[in-house]
Amino acid sequence: MLFLPLLATLFLIACHPQQQSAAQSGGINPYAYSIQKKTVADHGAVVSAHPLASKVGVSILKKGGNAIDAAIATQLALAVVYPNAGNLGGGGFMVARLGNGELLSLDYREMAPGAAHRDMYIDKDGNARTDKSQDGHLSSGVPGTVAGLFASHQYGKLPFEQLIQPAIELAEKGFAISEREARSLNNLQTDLKQYNSIMPVFVKEKWKAGDTLVQTDLANTLKRIRDKGKAGFYEGETARLIVEEMKRGGGIISYEDLKNYVAKFRTPHQFTYKGYQIVGMPMPSSGGLLLHQMMKMIEGRNIAAMGFHSLEAIQLMTEVERRAFADRAEYMGDADYYKVPVAMLSNEVYLQERMKNYNPAKATPSTDIKPGVLLKAESEETTHLSVIDQQGNAVAITTTLNNSYGSRTVVGGAGFFLNDEMDDFSIKPGVPNMYGAVGGEANAIKAGKRMLSSMTPTLVLKDNQPYIVVGTPGGTTIPTQIFQTLVNILEFNMSAEDAVYKPKFHHQWLPDELVIETGFPASVKEAMKKMGYHFANERSGIGRTEIIKVLPNGKFEAVADKRGDDAAEGY
């Protein structure tokens, strides 16, 4: 076990021995735990946004589960201990490589409810109502997470009851919250009161580090899922509670929408980069294709010789990000509903053509690539977990409620937050969503359609074996963070830790500005300003990347991002 004392916010939450719950069956004490940022493991590893969830995942590996089992248990635990983004009421994507070499991508993205329609967020004066698409009952798509857990379970080894039990215990007996979680819940109080008529357990005058969060309603929902499987969520009591909640707040998710929800296995989006095989998520996530476009636009340009964080490298990557995101706005959406020209957009000749107006001496204004409008930027919250085992199974899962705590609505009596994923559709052509991303016909709202995502769970294979398992939250910044993390490793030869921890940047075509993280080299910023680049306000953190890299000796180097309470566990 390797601790990084300076980087890991190592904390020990006050222990309440009288509260020892059965959740410790896997050696986990939810009232006293520390955050481990890095580990090198022999048998398997889990990296996620919360130390308790990572520990649950490793406990499943130790009991003979494989990486799929561990990923399921970790997601369920995150739904309890990381309510910002861990979820039952949201959706996600899984990219996996099985021990037998089979590659999977599983889509459990939310779907637009049956009563949804293209103009549902446009008022009588023609104004886009982002207040309705971003918060409250009408912002929720039909949740996909529980269907996704069961669809992936066919590749697991342990019974589902065993995988869900730690989450039930964490919800029922509670766990101690961290300082960051206390802060986050305190900031949420006004919204909780605004978007709920039945006050959830998260409402409290003041949360502080070490407080125990018990979620009895959520524990009961988890038990229904344990006892009745997928139907324990999409039918019966849980469905009734969701539909009742919708009625209380003017939402439109119906019994039929819930019953009809399906998770879909899709063909992974694959490409090669200098001999590495990169496996990502296809539509309805833009992540795999954007990563493909960005990597291919730099492949022939010897970026390694330019040097990490050099003016030349950052300017090239910025221009590549700008061009890929311009294509996202125009062409990308749910391919079940819109013909996304994936082959054309990833064609090498097309991508070289795309770089024809690239000028290493100055910025290419976004208006020269496609016409645009000014946009706003907002908060980004999603969560990623990476899992690997010694049987050659590797799993990358990114899952989300969209915004932090989603719609801010907790299903009364069921204890979980609903997503606000409808805002990831283009609610009106040219009107930015909460990430400032624009879209048009390709990503217009339609009943049953899945909203375009940026989530980029990614595997890199070397000689056909798992080499890197990676992903991050961060809305539209997700693909650019994965792009930079991979370039840091594959081109700049960095350790996994440096690749994740070094300051990042982000350009998404519109708004035409470069977002930079604290620590971005000041001299590069000044030089780029002279070249015509505009800079957004600096951010203290971009993304929370969770990575596992297979070392030459076969051990697993697992690194959790320093930008949150994220934790790496292994054995």
SS3 272: strand
Q: How far is it, in rounded angstroms, from Cα 228 to Cα 85? A: 24
134 binds ligand GLY (CB under 6 A): no
Q: Cβ of residue 334: shortest distance to ligand GLY, in angstroms?
A: 12
Q: Cβ of residue 398: shortest distance to ligand GLY, in angstroms?
A: 8
Nearer to ligand GLY, 211 or 381 (CB): 381
Nearer to ligand GLY, 386 or 400 (CB): 400
Q: Which of 477, 474, 540 is nearest to 503 (CA)?
A: 540
- Residue in this structure with the two tokens 């990557």, named with its chain if needed: 317
Q: How far is CA 87 from CA 191, 416, 417, 525, 549, in A?
A: 18, 7, 7, 38, 26
Q: Is 382 a catalytic residue?
A: yes
Query: 225 phi and psi, to 5 degrees?
Result: -65, -40
Residue nearest ligand GLY (C-beta atom) = 453
- Tell which positions 354-383 bind ligand GLY, by CB under 6 A: 382
SS3 483: helix
Q: How far is it, in rounded angstroms, from Cα 417 to Cα 161? A: 23
453 binds ligand GLY (CB under 6 A): yes
Nearer to ligand GLY, 303 or 437 (CB): 437
174 binds ligand GLY (CB under 6 A): no
The verdict on whether omega for the bond into residue 511 sits within 30 degrees of 0, i.e. cis, is yes
424 binds ligand GLY (CB under 6 A): yes
- Tell which positions 403-422 bind ligand GLY, by CB under 6 A: 421
455 binds ligand GLY (CB under 6 A): yes
* Active-site pick, 382, 398, 399, 409: 382
- Applying CB under 6 A, the span of 18-26, 223-231, 274-282, 451-459 interacting with ligand GLY comes to 451-459
- Applying CB under 6 A, the span of 17-25, 211-219, 452-460, 464-472 interacting with ligand GLY comes to 452-460
CB atoms within 10 A of CB 441: 12
Q: How far is it, in rounded angstroms, from Cα 322 to Cα 310? A: 18
Alpha helices in 429-521 (DSSP H): 477-490, 496-501
402 binds ligand GLY (CB under 6 A): yes
- Applying CB under 6 A, the span of 54-62, 158-166, 173-181, 447-455 interacting with ligand GLY comes to 447-455
Q: Cβ of residue 176: shortest distance to ligand GLY, in angstroms?
A: 29
- The secondary structure of residue 32, as a DSSP letter, is S
Nearer to ligand GLY, 165 or 456 (CB): 456
Nearer to ligand GLY, 26 or 287 (CB): 287
Q: Cβ of residue 453: shortest distance to ligand GLY, in angstroms?
A: 3
Q: Cβ of residue 108: shortest distance to ligand GLY, in angstroms?
A: 12
Total of residues contacting ligand GLY (CB under 6 A): 9
- The secondary structure of residue 554, as a DSSP letter, is S
Q: DSSP readout, 86-150?
A: --SBSEEEEEEE-TTS-EEEEEE--B--TT--TTTTB-TTS-B-HHHHHSSGGGPPBP-HHHHHH
Alpha helices in 261-301 (DSSP H): 287-299
475 binds ligand GLY (CB under 6 A): yes
Nearer to ligand GLY, 407 or 453 (CB): 453
Nearer to ligand GLY, 220 or 545 (CB): 545
Q: How far is CA 556 from CA 29, 40, 451, 570, 571, in A?
A: 25, 5, 35, 8, 9
Q: Cβ of residue 93: shortest distance to ligand GLY, in angstroms?
A: 9
Which one of 454, 480, 481, 508 is in contact with ligand GLY (CB under 6 A)?
A: 454
- Residue in this structure with the two tokens 């051990």, named with its chain if needed: 555
Q: Cβ of residue 383: shortest distance to ligand GLY, in angstroms?
A: 11
- Applying CB under 6 A, the span of 178-186, 221-229, 308-316, 449-457 interacting with ligand GLY comes to 449-457
Structure tokens at 180: 């960051």
89 binds ligand GLY (CB under 6 A): no
Q: For 502-546, what is the HEC assignment?
A: CCCEECCCCCCCEEEECCCCHHHHHHHHHCCCCECCCECCCCCCE
Nearer to ligand GLY, 57 or 479 (CB): 479
What is the set of active-site residues?
382
Residues near ligand GLY (CB under 6 A) are 382, 400, 402, 421, 424, 453-455, 475
